[in-house]
Structure 1
Amino acid sequence: MKTSRRQIIYFYKDMKKKKLLGILPSYAGGGAEKIMLMYFHNFQKRPFFFKLLVVNNDGPLKTKLVDSIEYKYKRLFNSIPKIISYIRKKKFNIVYSTFPHITIALIISKLLRLHNCNIVVRQPNMLYPSLSYSFKLRIIRFLYLRLINMADVIVVTSKAMREEALKNNFNKNKVFLLPNPLDIRNIRKNVIPERKSGLAVKLVFVGRLSYQKGLDRVLGLFSKIDNIELSIIGQGEQRKLLENLVKDNKIEEKITFCGFIPSPYNVIAGADYLFLPSRWEGMPNCVLESLALGTPVIAFKDIITLNDLTFNIKNKTITMLENEESLLAYLRGLRPRKDKLNPMLRKSLLNNSLSEAAYRKKLDKIISSKL
């Protein structure tokens, strides 16, 4: 079969592409994992060859749509020799990390001359709250802050994260603000609002069941409120603790643990409010998704990154509360939506958003500019 001139040109163009390896701890169902997997989709007409390395091939987001190599290590530390060997063997030019402990390992191994890749970091959370609540995390923060300027690109997702980075002497020429993407049309496509029967106000939480998400500090409030129910979508290390809190407070009829749901959009669209009592966040994807589905958001002021969504805070489609006491007073005043018996998909509450295609294009351009 004769090879066309165009095919030959494309072949030589591909030969010149830089090789980019993304490193993910697992397929856990968090926002950082979702963003990483999204970025590694749709390789056509992009400036890099992409490969994803997953340290532990377990988790609900496991997909066949991404070109990946998967290991079965339970701990990142044990996988480092194999990761470095793979980087050297396949001659990658760029490595991309979105978790601090992986970033530290990549930078130290570069300092030891075990690889010579450009390092791209996407920071998923505010540094100080996320790396402060245990001795181990404080060690990680200490190392991260002293090594991070060895990275070539540092992507943050909100103005608050950028301010924190610059206050901690990150190289301003390496810090790029790139909001999380959201395709409103795709989110809303084929959504049929789903709502449990009954006249109670329906709240929904979506996220990992962890200390960060703050459910442990608010579940007890539901024993003091009538006519409100909470559906909890997600898995995580705090599930048993939260189930015990529900049992101890005798609120089993008000709280439902739904586990991980790959596409929770029907439930979010049918709820009265998305409930996010987190102690901190980067830029939570679930908030953007909820607003796109027309469902307003209740959160704490602790999530200072939400201040970027000024349009929604001003029109009160995002309500930011000071503490548990003010939350209790606010919850007592809630009423269910007017169409509670037959919920319809409400119009999007997002003022604007960055599409996934635009996000990939912008990040590709940022990385290319720093090589």
Structure 2
Amino acid sequence: MSKILFIIDHLGRGGAERITLQLAEYLAKQDHIIYLAVLNGQRNHYHCSPLVHYMDLQIAESFAYGKMWKNKILTLAEQDKISLLLNHNFDLIVTGYNNGHWLSPYLKGNVWHWIHGDLLEVRKFNNRLKQLKEHLRFFKNKRKFSKLFHNRNLITVNRDLENKARAYSNPNSIKTIANGVNIPSKYLNRYPITEKKWDVVFVGRLVPIKQVEHAITAFSMSNTNGKMAIVGDGTERQKLEELTKELKIADRVDFLGWVEEPYTVMLQSKCLMMSSLYEGSPVILAESILLDVPVVTYNSSHGIEDLFCANIIKDILVSKQNIQDLAFSLSKCIQKPYVYPKICKNKVSIKNMADQFISLI
């Protein structure tokens, strides 16, 4: 039995927050003593099981939120909170997404920093001024990335992130662990017998990096006459609703907003589509595999490719930014859904993931 502490910015709606909470709760059910501390809980959406010792450190918003490249220093009172927490003598401490990594100077023991996404991405803009600002942002992030993670122990969720971490931070140790998920048993093995309301579903934040406009456009280009469901919300929602009107498919696209457990909507869809510019180890993809929901996605990282077997990759992965191929693969998947082999499901199980975290002790 081990004593483990997870530290994360907050328990918001993102995939990193969901996977941290699922892992904490799973390990607690395996009789490990689990603490989960949020820097600042004002943006919490999810709540912990009573099996997990939850703490809101109530650290200032200037530290808990905001850009990673900004310097973050705890007050003396906040340092005392961390010291008091460390008196529990944890066997493993895992800091998470994203400002929790700034606690590294105040932590001691077996500390690992869990990197969920690409902190060093460079987005492309047609506007030269925006592109210049983007390179400036990258330079700031690169400098802080090196400072934060130099000679530290790192967990990455895919090989791309591992390679970047080695190149920019010279870590002490690094281990890649793909995200695993835990689906309630009542949803398992239901895909073949669940009536389908939608041909395709998108699940996620409606923000630029998810490129939901690609998914909508691909749906409009496919030869399906069915409907599309969009589960999620975000800054791009109004633009996306306008796009469906421009494409004359507004009556075939249902914006459902946030859904507590999207599994029912996923099972009621023939397939799920992902169109992100970049993904780390997407939770929704792991959930789709366990639910048997076929996926069509851009091959935007090794974190996606590594979850599949060679014999079905050609049906799933589409070259990045190729909307026409995305539409073609969508049509093919709707007409002839594929089946996941058992090895794919084993890769994304919460047990497989938890075993690898325990091995860090």
TM superposition score normalised by structure 1: 0.75
Q: Structure 1 184/347 Cα, relative in aligned 2: closer, same or farther at 3 Å?
A: farther
Q: Report the alpha carbon displacement of residue 281 of structure 1 after superposing the two structures with TM.
A: 0.8
Is the counterpart of residue 207 in structure 1 residue 204 in structure 2?
yes
Is the counterpart of residue 330 in structure 1 residue 328 in structure 2?
yes
Q: Which runs of 5+ in 2 are unaligned?
A: 66-73, 125-130
Alignment-derived partner of residue 22 in structure 1:
6
| 1-structure distance, mates of 2:32, 2:107 | 21
Q: Which runs of 5+ in 1 are unaligned?
A: 1-13, 340-345
SS in 1 for 2:94: strand
User: Could you give the per-residue CA deviations for residues 121-150 of structure 1, whole angstroms, max 9, x where no partner exists?
Assistant: 111013432789845565234301232024
Alignment-derived partner of residue 178 in structure 1:
177
Is contact 1:290-1:296 (8 Å) kept?
yes
Q: Structure 1 191/119 Cα, relative in aligned 2: closer, same or farther at 3 Å?
A: same
Q: Report the alpha carbon displacement of residue 98 of structure 1 after superposing the two structures with TM.
A: 1.6
One-letter amino acid of the structure 1 residue matched with residue 211 of structure 2: G
Number of aligned residue pairs = 333
1:17-56 equivalence runs, <5 A: 20-41=4-25, 42-43=27-28, 50-56=35-41
Alignment-derived partner of residue 145 in structure 2:
144
User: Could you give the per-residue CA deviations for residues 318-345 of structure 1, whole angstroms, max 9, x where no partner exists?
Assistant: 2323433433651574474579xxxxxx
Which of 307, 319, 322 aligns to 1:321? It is 319
Alignment-derived partner of residue 122 in structure 1:
114
SS in 1 for 2:196: coil
Which of 346, 354, 357 aligns to 1:360? It is 354
Alignment-derived partner of residue 284 in structure 1:
282
SS in 1 for 2:254: strand
After TM superposition, the runs of 4+ consecutive aligned structure 1 residues lying more than 6 A away are: 71-74, 130-133
One-letter amino acid of the structure 2 residue matched with residue 68 of structure 1: Y
Is contact 1:56-1:73 (8 Å) kept?
no
Alignment-derived partner of residue 7 in structure 1:
none
Overall identity of the aligned pairs, in %: 20
| Residues 115-124 or 64-73, more deviating | 64-73
| 1-structure distance, mates of 2:150, 2:33 | 23
Q: Which has the larger radius of gyration?
A: 1
Alignment-derived partner of residue 70 in structure 2:
none
SS in 2 for 1:161: helix
| 2-structure distance, mates of 1:83, 1:194 | 52
Alignment-derived partner of residue 4 in structure 1:
none
Is contact 1:131-1:138 (8 Å) kept?
no
Q: Report the alpha carbon displacement of residue 26 of structure 1 after superposing the two structures with TM.
A: 2.4
Is contact 2:158-2:303 (8 Å) kept?
yes
Is contact 1:60-1:262 (8 Å) kept?
no
User: Could you give the per-residue CA deviations for residues 291-314 of structure 1, whole angstroms, max 9, x where no partner exists?
Assistant: 222222111122332221341664
Is contact 2:23-2:354 (8 Å) kept?
yes
Q: Structure 1 89/186 Cα, relative in aligned 2: closer, same or farther at 3 Å?
A: same
Alignment-derived partner of residue 91 in structure 1:
86
SS in 2 for 1:209: coil
| 2-structure distance, mates of 1:87, 1:131 | 36
| Residues 142-151 or 130-139, more deviating | 130-139
